[in-house]
A = this chain, B = another copy of it.
Amino acid sequence: MPTPAVHIGPQDDPQLTEAVERGGGRVVPLADAEALVVVGGHGDLPDLHDAIRWVQLPSAGIESWVRAGVLDHDRTWTSATGAYSTSVAEGAVALLLAGVRGIGRAARATTWDGEALDGVQTTLRGATVAIVGAGGIGKAMIPALLGLGARVLAVTRRGLPVEGAYETWAADRARDVFAVADHVVLAAPATADTAALVGADELTALGPQGWLVNIARGSLVDTDALVTALREGTIAGAALDVTDPEPLPDGHPLWTEPRAIVTPHSTNPSTLRVPLLAERVQENVRRFAAGEELLGLVDLDAGY
């Protein structure tokens, strides 16, 4: 088995260095590298030379690199898709449950009102939760949702059956789930097809008991339509880990909207992320050394 020569950059990272070594590689200067593990998530990239055959990006969503135009067909690119799935999925379930059970409102209260949450709370038991973009993260939500007594309607690119979902729809029907589901979780990649997927019509279809959870990207939701829907009670609420614009500016109506919960793009916090990325790097270095297919291969045409 060869020992892959891997560069970690632009910055060094001791946990990733260990991961490369546990995977059977060695960490080398950029000039000597045949593979690159990218640290930091904002489209930065060291200068690539021709000997670099594989680049491991550190995040699941890679649109900042797509926008920067740095992805090429000269080598293999992998994202961290799936590596953080369980952590992000847990955050998404937490947001949905916090919404449905009124915890966002309760957390802001400073006086005891025993009836404050009476008309606000509903239950996931028996409810239909649609997961739009049931990839790694969406699939990782399913055991928890089933454990809570919900049923899951999955939406995937091709609509092939997803384990644990009672039905799976193809992505071209994504807008139709809002009329069928009690609650909708957005976990789809940000692409041209998903831009402003959720507008006034979808929110009206979701209805006054429905929660919208967005852990994907802010661009999937028309923020103005959402603010209006929340203010008018068109939907029960929205729990957003991502927003458009992001960061959400001070004074934005979502900060003070009682039906909204905003977390600062934090369902995948660094304290939980680094150990999971290190696991992925270790596994992919091992696969690279063995000539096996890497995890998280980027589809350059699809853009994710």
A residues near B, CB below 8 A? 86-87, 90-91, 93-95, 97-98, 100-125, 143-149, 246-250, 255-256, 261-267, 269-272
Contact = CB atoms under 8 A, between A and B. Distances in A.
Contact of A90 (B117, B124, B263): B124
Contact of A97 (B87, B98, B123, B250): B98
B248 A123 contact: no
Contacts of A271: 118-119, 121-122
What is the predominant secondary structure among interface residues of chain A facing chain B? loop
A145 B147 contact: yes
Contact of A103 (B117, B256, B263): B263
Nearest to A103: B98
Contact of A148 (B95, B101, B144): B144
A108 to B, nearest CB: 6
B87 A94 contact: no
Contact of A101 (B90, B109, B123, B255): B90
Contacts of A113: 264
A44 B120 CA distance: 28
Contacts of A149: 86, 90, 143
